[in-house]
Structure 1
Amino acid sequence: MTEKQIPVGSGFNACTTALQALAACDLLGKTVIVTGGYSGIGLETVRVLSNAGAQVIVPARDPQKAERNLAGIIGVEHTSLDLLDPTSIDRFAENFLSSGRALDLLINSAGIMATPLQRDARGLEAQFATNHLGHFQLTARLWPALCQARGARVVSVSSLGHRLSPVHFEDPQFERRPYDKWLAYGQSKTANALFAVALDRRGIADGVRAFSVHPGEILTDLIRYLNKDDLAFVGALDDQGNIRRASHYKSPEQGAATSVWCAVSPQLEGLGGVYCEDCDVAAPSQDDSRRNGVRAWAVDPEQAERLWGLSQQLCSVSL
């Protein structure tokens, strides 16, 4: 699968903003769902796509926060969804399907990072359940609307953190091994990338293409669970032990760029199932000294199929 991981020479880079990545694309008449679209890079993604004419729906675990943060953005609606609650996911999808609308873009941007051990009602580890399984179930339930669009794209926000761990198929829920919040996070981000591989394979015939993205290093609400040792682990502290200056990180506008590029760029026509960063297809990498590129385990088709089977079993859902 890594032979597909060849940069296309997009002309963009790490400094590209979401507005620049949009490249004046007209999205009038398009319908978009952005999970996590009321904070961080998700919010900027919503802002840019809405301003381009799209009707954007933002599923929200915290409706009041969504109401505050989305105020003033035209063409946006928000409604309740909890990715840890299968019933909530089904209800959201059923409501959308009942509207009869095609779904042109699904951007799976919501996520949690390095949380203390938590489990959902099914006993599933929360990072894996939120970051991957919730989006797996949501995408599967929305599949008829994606196929109806005849040209839909699904974009899953992965992370540089995928390097921390492949999917541990022998014990993905940390039932027999000690819980490690960073391994759990890394596993969930690898799962996001593998999901795009398997989904793209299934969607080609119906015009649905899938991509995963590393948005870049950005300071967002994701760091709310991190203590000083955690911040040092992810390279967020300078030599004096202070959080690095903002110039070290991408801005939200830059962080949303790759999601937007994957969602709309004609440069990706005929491509899918690839991991992207800095508004281009990422190259394979096994070099731990560099903070770019994708590990082979995150784009391996056999691992992707194994994850698909596990996800169907855990969610009791299929396309």
Structure 2
Amino acid sequence: MISWTLKTAVRYFLRHVSFPHVRGDEAMPTIQGVLDAFEAGFIAALDGTGETVERTLARFPWFRHEFVHEGVATALAGKHCLSLARGNPDYRRLGNHYRRMYYTGYGFWNGLARIYPVPALSLDCRQWSNVSDFAELGPLIPGGMGFVVVGAMAKFDREVRSKLAVPSHPGWESAALHGCGRAIWFLCMHNAAKIAEIVDDHPDIRDHLLAGVGIAIGFTQIYRPENIMRAVDSFGPIHRDMVMRGAAVALANMPLDNPAILPRVEAAARGPLWPVYQRILVAMKAASPGERWYESFVEQVKRLPTEQPALMSESI
């Protein structure tokens, strides 16, 4: 019964979510490809085992596998919560790879819980004490939450911001805002002017949002690498530098979940993005371990030399 309810709900949600400000011929096919991968992962997690997920992955190109795993994790979180189970859903995981996508998917479920009357995963660290990488990767839960809140409401404004409160763990608030930025890219794919309008209304968090936009560009446009810099270059000088950093962050993180794609990622990073990509790799290694990793990584990214004459704001 729980699996049927979740399948019905996710199919309804994915067919009614809107993307009001996208531009160009490639935006909606790209978005639909992401949604299809997410839905397939979601259904596979409810229907089967790790082997079912592997068969599902084989249906999609490598650059959609992250989204399949996000769907898997969201389904497992939903099943855990609707079963009124204690603790966390990680014991249900179907494999030990794509950990970043798992945490993001767990956050997707909590984003739904901010909008709809469904139980949420506990964010009490004590409930995750048996999960060894929670301290470092836990901020990705509020990141996923922020993404879904913005995506479900199809906007970013004060009402959305009022739904983003998270525990005061290091890096969690900024991670939630990065998730919001990722969703803004989906709502406004290839529409830099609209994105600029949205983020400029929130100068105190603008760079967080722009970094999230860049991360989403990296993940969604790597299927055609020249699209990454084309998207980055569509922004003006005030916004472009942080968007570029976000795109480089996305590329630098992809091989951590799947080392086999490193040659493809490095090929995509060649060109104007390469110096930033290399600096991001250094920043990742320099970040503090454990629960302060995300927060210290953000600080490392903030201190990178600017790629544009305009100076960055201090909000990141």
Instruction: Indicate the TM-score class for this superposition, using the shorter chain for normalisation.
Output: 0.3 to 0.5
> Greater relative contact order: 1 or 2 (C-alpha under 8 angstroms, separation 6 or more)?
1
- Going by fraction, where is strand more abundant, 1 or 2? 1
| Structure with greater helix percent | 2
TM-score, normalization by structure 2: 0.32
